[in-house]
């Protein structure tokens, strides 16, 4: 399955990006598995947010921990 590409806009705060992604998925009636959602976010965030996720060991978390982490971050 091809990955869902959803980039973070320039100077967009993460919580706005997260809300926009959730709204897009709900509006399009598009379902992503948890791991696909995490992959979409990790590949779609801007360089600064990506660096922070790496600093906070985002990729070392299990799927549920990573989803909870993103929800808290947003």
Dihedral of CA atoms 24, 27, 31, 36 in degrees, nearest 10, equals 0
- The arithmetic mean of pLDDT across residues 58-70, rounded, is 94
CA gap 55, 52 in Å, rounded: 5
Domain residue extents for the chain: 14-73
CA gap 39, 1 in Å, rounded: 13
CA gap 27, 3 in Å, rounded: 18
8-51 residue pLDDT tens: 999 999 999 999 999 998 888 778 889 999 999 999 999 999 99
pTM of structure: 0.86
Q: Tell me what pLDDT residue 2 has.
A: 55
């Amino acid at each position: 399955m091809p990955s869902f590409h959803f980039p973070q806009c320039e100077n967009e705060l993460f919580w706005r990006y997260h809300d926009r992604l959730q709204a897009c998925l709900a509006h399009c009636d598009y379902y992503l598995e948890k791991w696909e959602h995490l992959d979409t976010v990790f590949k779609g965030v801007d360089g600064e947010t990506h660096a922070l996720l790496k600093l906070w060991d985002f990729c070392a978390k299990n799927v549920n921990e990573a989803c909870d982490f993103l929800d808290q971050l947003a």
